[in-house]
Structure 1
Amino acid sequence: MDINNSTVSGNIQAVMELLQQGGVEDPTLTSEANDNDSPDVSKYVVLVHGDLGTGERLQTAQLRRSIESTSWNHLQHVIFIPGLFHLKMACADALWRCFIYPSTVRTKQASCVMLRNYAREKPVSTRRSLAFIRCTSLLAMQGFNSLKDFAHSKPTLDDLKAMAEEITRMYVATSQFRRMCRKQEKERDLQFENAILLNKYFLLYEELSYALNSGDVGHVEASIISWIPILKAIGKHKYATHMTNFLYNVHFVYSLGLRHAIRYHILVNLTGRPMKWRAVDWCVELNNLFTKVKNGGKNSNRSVERIILESPLVQPCAT
């Protein structure tokens, strides 16, 4: 279907045509035609995944059609679900705005750019060892000379957890960070403060990525709570507002059945393998990549008609 999704009317038409392709139409029309193949969705909902632009246009469409007489005409069955893949990109953009984009940040010691430049100047063996500097320093504090000696000691899972907690307390900004910043300037270590703050935000991004890949919906929701104030602080107020409203609706507005349906369909696993869960909008963008970019034709063959003609033959490879 050749529809302009950048407009409200285009989004309405896209939703209607997608439902029609799935055999779902206006129940009043199907009842008059005595067509029993089309289900009556007046008592059900349809989950629509997409970016914030899609969500805003669907909300505008529902507002425009709120004066209609039937639930079908004012799109009551449409429930918008914000895409978590786009949320992940927004979080990555937040890190870029905080630690890479500002010109004043690039010249500071222990900044993300300076660490990258330092790693590039070193040989490959040194680059790999940079990631273990903190770990080996902690092992030295525990009485081990190397990672090999530590492996021979056969540490238990509880020992590893205790070490991880100690590393977090030492090298990640915690609740004591504000107290550290309130010290007199001669007593502060600004490079260390920047480094542990950098570790904190990067670990939050790593936590969100791990939760998405593992399919842990509860963990994803807990990670979103940490990102909402960060998104608001860097100026992404729409993302902060939409994610706040989404969590509020899921846990306090929607019924138990709808809450269960949303949480169990916000992530999909196309391969059935562990750590291969993906957001629904990620699958949509992957399909767009294969349809429009890799198989969209070149030069004079690249046209909307040709893309639509060959789109049923495109089979994206899920990873």
Structure 2
Amino acid sequence: MARPGTSIDKPYPIQRQRNQFVTPKPTIDSLNPRPQSQVVPAMLWSIKKLLISMCQNAKELDKKLGDIPSKLQLPAVRTPYRPVVAINEKCSTTDGNISVLRNWMEQTGIDQEVTKNTITLVHGDLGVLERVRAILKTRARERTDWESFEYIEAAPGLFHTLMAAANAVWRTYLEPKSLQKDLHGVYQHFAHLYPKDHAKLKSNAPFRMLHDGLQHTLLAHLLEYAREILNLLSANELEERTFKIEEIDLLAKAIYNEYIAHAPALSADASFLVETEEAKLSNEEKAKQNSRLFVRDALLYQVLAVSMKHGAVGTVEDVLWYWIPIFKATRKHKYAAYLLDFLTRLSSLPPELARAIRLNWLLNPTGRHDGFRAVDWVIELNNLYLKAVYSGSGPNKTIEHILSQSGIIELLRSCHENIEDNFEIRSRTIRHAPADMAADIAFLAQRI
């Protein structure tokens, strides 16, 4: 839940002066796109990336595509980390979070001297953000900054934010019963991809189903748009052709300008105008509008997911501004409020401190170019190993045993990997091979 304090070159005087970094009150202008925003270039990059995946010379084009556009790109260096011993506390309470923070600092050797010139960055889900805010804002009169946690900075966990974004798309395009009846709508596309999970799609679809389904459905839409622009008989002809990177670039720009840039705006001020125009549209035109709206939001989700995976922190920050009004519209008011508060505060902090927070927003457990992960994702992975893999079985599966194993999770995993390497065990089942979805995507493209 927490990460070691990040030292900064210039020690800021945080002694009793947290008000020095008070977050400006957000206004409606805060939601306007930033002048240097990389969201549109990242959307074009994502379109090209998906189109290239279906081309015959995909490997050649992928090398020429380059990295996703970003103002701040993290280096692909392995991030060392070590789990600490877990404690049995209720994280749903403010006192429980205080106990967790104190215990974590005691285990890592962080004391009052360390916190004088450093900031401790705490990552977590929405509940953690609420508890940390309660610690910082509703407290008694402590004598020192150590007692009042003045050195704490809370950052929203990007993995939970990504899950909230996927759920927001589900609430918009899959949950409404009126849209489920549309034979060419998004719900029917998901129903084809998951024919045995209609009940889950209607009630509350899990994250992995939404994550994969969004990518497959988005790709089907892009293939159909490419077929219309290139005047092809079917989307399957794209797989048989060899493209140049310049042709992919022109095709992506044509798709964006024709189908995405002209999607209805998110502005609340234009609601009356939109309702008036909708009354004049036929059912077929409304279906096309819904399709373009879905592609736009699915691209925003794709940009968020891919930029996190590639360590493009600048693009992550830019695209989160677009998700704030979407969260508000889908009844996720707390996510919208905390994201707006964090992003506004990040822009008001001293440049060195803000850069330190951005550089520690993601980590890279493997050191691969596309191996960046959110900190809360690593925490959830450790929870999986702790509660399901190394938790014992039968009468040995007790809280005391789980707590005793929590500090050596990485050691146990390393022992398993060494044994598998030494005995040359092939079927490790660590990662499943991706399913061949070419036929399903081509079928969806025909129904759009």
TM-score, structure 1 normalization: 0.84
Distance 1:56 1:85, change over 3 A: same
Partner of 2:393: 298
Which of 352, 362, 369 matches 1:257? 352
Which of 104, 107, 123 matches 1:21? 107
Contact kept, 8 Å, 1:221 with 1:247, in 2: the verdict is: yes
SS across alignment from 1:79: strand
Partner of 1:30: none
- Letter aligned with residue 293 of structure 2: L
Contact kept, 8 Å, 1:214 with 1:274, in 2: the verdict is: yes
Query: In the TM superposition, what are the counterparts of 1:152-231 in structure 2 within 5 Å?
Result: 154-155=243-244, 157-172=245-260, 174=262, 182=277, 184-186=280-282, 189-231=285-327
Which of 401, 409, 412 matches 1:314? 409
Larger Rg computed on CA atoms: 1
Which of 117, 135, 145 matches 1:43? 117
Partner of 1:12: 98
Pair 1:277 & 2:351 matched: no
In structure 1, C-alpha distance between the alignment counterparts of 2:106 and 2:236, rounded to whole Å:
67
In structure 1, C-alpha distance between the alignment counterparts of 2:159 and 2:248, rounded to whole Å:
32
Contact kept, 8 Å, 1:50 with 1:83, in 2: the verdict is: yes
Instruction: Please give the per-residue CA displacement for 1:280-304, whole angstroms capped at 9, x wherever unaligned.
Output: 1111111111111222223322211
Instruction: Please give the per-residue CA displacement for 1:9-41, whole angstroms capped at 9, x wherever unaligned.
Output: 11001101101111123x3xxxxxxxxxxx431
- Letter aligned with residue 136 of structure 1: R
Q: Please, which runs of 5 or more residues in structure 2 have no aligned partner? A: 1-86, 196-215, 415-429, 432-448
Residues paired across the two proteins, number: 297
In structure 1, C-alpha distance between the alignment counterparts of 2:236 and 2:408, rounded to whole Å:
59
- Letter aligned with residue 47 of structure 1: L
Deviation at 1:66, TM superposition (A): 5.0
Contact kept, 8 Å, 2:264 with 2:289, in 1: the verdict is: no
Distance 1:308 1:160, change over 3 A: same
In structure 1, C-alpha distance between the alignment counterparts of 2:351 and 2:224, rounded to whole Å:
48
Q: 1 or 2 for the larger relative contact order (CA 8 Å, sep ≥6)?
A: 2
Partner of 2:332: 236
Deviation at 1:186, TM superposition (A): 4.2
Pair 1:147 & 2:242 matched: no
- The worse-fitting range, judged by mean Cα deviation, of 176-185 and 217-226 is 176-185
Deviation at 1:269, TM superposition (A): 0.7
Q: Please, which runs of 5 or more residues in structure 1 have no aligned partner? A: 28-38, 122-126
Contact kept, 8 Å, 2:129 with 2:154, in 1: the verdict is: yes
- The worse-fitting range, judged by mean Cα deviation, of 303-312 and 266-275 is 303-312
- Letter aligned with residue 134 of structure 1: Y
Which of 146, 149, 158 matches 1:84? 158
In structure 1, C-alpha distance between the alignment counterparts of 2:283 and 2:380, rounded to whole Å:
50
Partner of 1:52: 126
In structure 2, C-alpha distance between the alignment counterparts of 1:145 and 1:83, rounded to whole Å:
39
Contact kept, 8 Å, 2:363 with 2:372, in 1: the verdict is: yes
Contact kept, 8 Å, 1:110 with 1:194, in 2: the verdict is: no
Contact kept, 8 Å, 1:97 with 1:234, in 2: the verdict is: yes
Deviation at 1:44, TM superposition (A): 2.3
Deviation at 1:147, TM superposition (A): 3.0
Aligned-pair Cα RMSD in Å: 2.9
- Letter aligned with residue 103 of structure 1: K
Partner of 2:229: 138
Partner of 1:31: none
Instruction: Please give the per-residue CA displacement for 1:148-194, whole angstroms capped at 9, x wherever unaligned.
Output: 6741xx53x33322211111233336356688871623496121111
